[in-house]
Amino acid sequence: MRSLFWRILASFWLAIALVAGLSMLLGRALNQDAWILAHHPGIDGLAETWTQRYETQGPEAAQAFLERRKKRFRIDVQVLGENGQPLVRGTFPPRAAALEARQQNERRLPWRRLSNDYTSPTTDESYLFIYRIPHPELAAWHRGSLFWPLSALGIALVVLTLISLFLTLSITRPLNRLRGAVHDLGQTAYQQTSLARLSTRRDELGVLASDFNRMGARLQGLIGSQRQLLRDVSHELRSPLARLRIALALAERAEPEERERLWPRLVQECDRLEALISEILALARLDADPGAAQPVDIGLVLRKIREDAQLAAPEQRVAIEQAETVTVQGWPDMLERALDNLLRNALRFNPVGQPIDIEVAPQAEQLHITLRDHGPGVAEDHLPHLGEPFYRAPGQSAAGHGLGLAIARRAIERHGGRLELGNSPEGGFCARVILPLEQRGAA
């Protein structure tokens, strides 16, 4: 998946290899004897033409050909036969030949000495051609013969420029899109479709865009839920505050005897308001950092909430079915609050005389905790909305603010699990808690 890394590495290596290779080839080609012999216009074709003149027209015509070549290209030529002796006088001055014989270092000579053998196709005679090109003439020819090497280098630079431009755009354009998405996210105007095309890339930037999309969706969901929670809180607080305000207004105008009858109503409204605020704070605390997780004995938690339920509703019976000791990793208070809310919700609707069944069943790497009552259940249309803050199914007459299931769902999700709510096939309402399993032991 690290294609962007390899793309950048390959581009740099290609650029370095291409420039270095062309530079080396150009330098070596321009300095090699074979390059000069094959491309210099004063040498190219000289051996063939001279051999034909020498064999058909004689030494005088061949000598005249060399002298004309020297006047035109300033190149001195000597031709030796198979016995090593000159076949013609040539154009190399005797004084220059003496200087060359005395000079040990060829680099200090004012000319470049080249030689090549040529075999006549008609007589099979071999000739040794010795060329001496003055350095100024050779340098001038180099300057004039750099068209094709420089053209190749120019083409290579154009190709490298295009590759660099493509690589730069493939990095900067996605980064600009990500920067725009970050700006939109900060302005709460982020659209996931803005990075949809970028997230399809199979490289690091595509993975980053996918992660950013998930983060943006999560943040937008949290912002939306917080806004909805604030709207719901403000709506839910208006009712008890309005009733409290009316009760206070009546108490101010009432007689002492009637005022005494209003005090319990005021206390009741204050208690309702306090309970509502406590549930809102409990829901808000679930988003805070709860600290380090620790092992939680599910059986111990269930027995504790059953004892609390029997104190609140002694007429109800809670049956726990657990075959083995099960421990999960989490936060005991948070998990106890979630299971207690689910049990209290079942107590509201369970008829007297019918037990509330709690079943603990480890399955593979998950733990299933099922709470089932024998109440009327919930209409299928309202099941998807259960667990939303302040949502209460129509026709529900039991007391509550619609925060118990929301607190339970949020707490279970903090443990890496999920809450499934539905009607049981045998009748009644069923809440199933699914948690990742930590360890198991014999009961």
pLDDT, position 177: 77
pLDDT, position 209: 81
Cα atoms found within 13 Å of the Cα of residue 253, Cβ hemisphere only: 5
Q: Are 373 and 350 in contact (CB under 8 A)?
A: yes
Instruction: Give the angle subtended at the CA of 269 by the CAs of 266 and 273, to the nearest 5°.
Output: 140
pLDDT, tens digit (0-9, with 9 covering 90-100), for 85-131: 889 988 888 777 777 777 766 667 788 888 889 999 888 899 999 99
CATH 3.30.450 domain locations along the chain: 41-144
For the beta sheet containing 111-119, the strands, ordered from the edge strand earlier in sequence to the opposite edge, are 76-80, 126-134, 111-119
pLDDT, position 106: 61
Report the percent of the chain where pLDDT is more than 90.
9
pLDDT, position 175: 76
pLDDT, tens digit (0-9, with 9 covering 90-100), for 351-386: 888 889 999 988 878 899 999 988 888 878 777 777
pLDDT, tens digit (0-9, with 9 covering 90-100), for 136-180: 887 777 666 666 666 766 777 777 777 777 777 777 777 777 777
pLDDT score of 389 more than 80: no
pLDDT-based confidence at 441, cuts 50/70/90? very low
pLDDT, position 1: 41
Domain 41-144: state its class.
Answer: alpha beta
Query: What residues have CB less than 8 Å from 91, skipping those under 6 apart?
Result: 66, 67, 69, 70, 75, 76, 77, 78
For the beta sheet containing 429-436, the strands, ordered from the edge strand earlier in sequence to the opposite edge, are 318-322, 356-363, 366-372, 429-436, 418-423
CATH 1.10.287.130 domain locations along the chain: 201-285
pLDDT, position 288: 64
pLDDT score of 443 more than 50: no
Distance CA 29, CA 22 (A): 10
Mean of all residue pLDDT scores within the chain: 78
Query: What residues have CB less than 8 Å from 119, skipping those under 6 apart?
Result: 125, 126, 127
What CATH number does domain 201-285 carry, 3.40.50.880, 3.40.50.300, 1.10.287.130, 3.40.1010.10? 1.10.287.130
CATH 3.30.565.10 domain locations along the chain: 294-442
pLDDT, position 405: 80
| Secondary structure class of 139 (helix, strand, coil) | helix
Q: Are 290 and 331 in contact (CB under 8 A)?
A: yes
Total residues belonging to the chain: 443
Distance CA 258, CA 264 (A): 11
Report the percent of the chain where pLDDT is more than 70.
76
pLDDT, tens digit (0-9, with 9 covering 90-100), for 67-88: 998 988 888 998 999 888 889 9
Domain 294-442, classified CATH 3.30.565.10, yes or no: yes
The values of phi and psi at residue 270, to 5°, are -65, -40
pLDDT-based confidence at 61, cuts 50/70/90? very high
pLDDT, position 442: 41
